[in-house]
Amino acid sequence: MNIKTLTLAAAVSVAMVGAAEARDQIRIVGSSTVFPFSTAVAEQFGKSTNFSTPIVESTGTGGGMKLFCSGIGEAYPDVTNASRRMKKSEFEDCTKNGIDITEVKVGFDGIVLANAKSGADLDLSLEQLFVALAKEVPQDGKLVANPYTNWSQIDPSLPNLKIEVLGPPPTSGTRDAFIEIAMEGGCKTLAGAKDLELSGKACHAIREDGVFVEAGENDNLIVQKLEANPDAFGIFGFSFLDQNSDKVKGASIAGTAPEFEAIAAGEYPVSRSLFFYVKQQHVGVIPGIKEFVTAFTSDSAWGPDGYLVDKGLIPLPDADRAAMAKQAQGLQSLSM
C-alpha cells in the first residue's frame, strides 16, 4: 500500500468517526420478539447511567440485519436484535462492508400458536400444524395444493373451525424459526413424505390462498385481531403471549403447553434462541455501547431473577450465561 492509499484510507476512517460522533444515542434495530427485552434494558440504562436512552426500533430480524450490515457511521445502526442466528450470507454482507461483529445469545423463547381466551382450546402435533399451513400436502402419492379449509378436516378430533392464521412476514426471524422448527419438523415425519422426497423448499412453503395472513411485525396488532375474531390464531413469541396472557392463550404442541418451565427444559417442541449483534467499529465512538452490553448481560437484567424474566425471557443456564457474558463484555469477534 503506497502513501497516497494510506492517506485516503485514513481520511475515510476519520470521516466515518466524525460522522458517528454526531450521534450520542445508541441505535438498535431488528427483531420484534427481542424488542421488548431490548427496550426494557434501554429504559433502565437511560435511568441508571449518564448516557442517553438508546433508540430501539422493531424492523424484523431480516430488516435489521440489512440495515446493520449496510455500513459504518452514524447513518447505520449500532446493534441489531435477532430471533434467530445471523445467516452466513448476512455475515458475509457485514464483512464485505468492513464490519466486525460481536454475537450475544440472550436466552430462549418459544414460538406459539395463540388465540383469544374465549376461543377453542387446541392441541396440535407438528404434522397437523404443517398440514394446516403448507402450500402443498401429500395426497394419493403426490403433492397437491392444500385442500384443507377447516381444522376438523385434518383430524376429526380438532375443532370444526375455519383455518385462519395470522403470522409474521418473510423478513421476520420468528417466521424463519417457525419454518425451520415447526414446518420442517412436521413435514419430515408426515406419512408419505419420504416416498415423495418431501424436503427443503417444499417443506418450507406456506400456503398463499388466504388461510395464512401476513400480519406484519406488529405483534400488538395481531393480538387485537385475535380478540376481534376468536376463531383465528396468531403466530408470535412466547414472551408476547406472556405479556398478553389476559387476552390470549397458547395452543399445546404435541401435548405440551407453551409455558416458561417447558421451554426452559427443552420440552416444548417449537423453541429457539434469541440474539443481539454489536458493531465493533461503533464501540468507543457512539457513547455507551460497551456499557449497554454490560447492562444487558448483567444478572440483574437477564439472570433467573432479573427484570427481563418478568418480560417473558427464558434465561440461559448459569454456566452458559456466565460464558456468554464474558464473550459479550469482551466484545469477542464473531467468525463463521
Q: How confident is the model at residue 329 (pLDDT cuts 50, 70, 90)?
A: very high
Cross-strand partners of 30: 81
Q: What is the mean pLDDT of the chain?
A: 89
Please give the backbone phi and psi of residue 296, each rounded to the nearest 5 degrees, phi first: -65, -35
Q: What is the pLDDT of residue 146?
A: 95
Q: Which pLDDT band, with edges at 50, 70 and 90, does 59 fall under?
A: very high
The interaxial angle of helices 289-296 and 318-329, nearest 10 deg, is: 180
pTM comes to 0.79
At the second CATH level, the architecture of 110-269 is 3-Layer(aba) Sandwich (3.40)
pLDDT band at 22 (very low <50, low <70, confident <90, very high): low
| pLDDT tens readout for residues 122-141 | 999 999 999 999 999 888 87
Residue 336's pLDDT is 86
**Predicted confidence (pLDDT) at residue 14 exceeds the cutoff of 50:** no
Decide if 109 contacts 274 (C-beta within 8 A).
yes
Predicted local confidence at residue 166, as pLDDT: 94
Q: What is the largest CA-CA distance in the chain?
A: 77
Q: What is the reported pLDDT for 6?
A: 36
- Span 310-326, average pLDDT: 94
Q: Could you read off the pLDDT of 252-304 as tens digits, one per residue?
A: 999 999 999 999 888 999 999 999 999 999 999 999 999 999 999 999 999 99
Q: Per-residue pLDDT averaged across 171-197, rounded?
A: 84
- Give the residue with greater pLDDT, 199 vs 270: 270
Give me the half-sphere count of Cα atoms (radius 13 Å) on the Cβ side of residue 310.
7
- pLDDT confidence bin for 220, thresholds 50/70/90: confident
E strand residue ranges, the chain: 27-30, 55-56, 79-82, 101-116, 123-124, 136-139, 142-145, 165-167, 212-214, 233-237, 248-250, 252-253, 271-279
> Is 113:306 a contact under the CB 8 Å cutoff?
no
pLDDT at 199: 67
Q: Residue 13 has what pLDDT? A: 44
The residue ranking higher by pLDDT, 169 or 53, is: 53
- Domain 13-107+272-329, what fold? D-Maltodextrin-Binding Protein; domain 2 (3.40.190)
Question: Mean of the pLDDT values across residues 227-246?
Answer: 92
The mean per-residue pLDDT over the stretch 304-328 comes to: 94
To which residue does cell 409474521 refer?
168
Q: What is the mean pLDDT of residues 85-108?
A: 97
Q: Where are the beta strands (DSSP E) in 152-304?
A: 165-167, 212-214, 233-237, 248-250, 252-253, 271-279
Taking the C-alpha atoms of residue 9 and residue 66, their distance in angstroms, rounded to an integer, is: 25
Amino acid at the residue 144: V
Residue 1 in this model has a pLDDT that exceeds 70: no
Residues facing 124 on adjacent strands: 253
Residues of the chain with CATH 3.40.190.10: 13-107+272-329, 110-269
Dihedral sign for Cα atoms in the order 49, 46, 275, 97? negative
> What gap in Å lies between CA 138 and CA 144, rounded to an integer?
6
Q: Is the model's pLDDT at 16 over the cut of 80? A: no
pLDDT at 127: 94
Does residue 15 have a pLDDT over 90?
Answer: no
Is 80 exceeded by the pLDDT of residue 204? yes
Can you tell me the mean pLDDT for 196-215?
84
The pLDDT value given to residue 138:
85
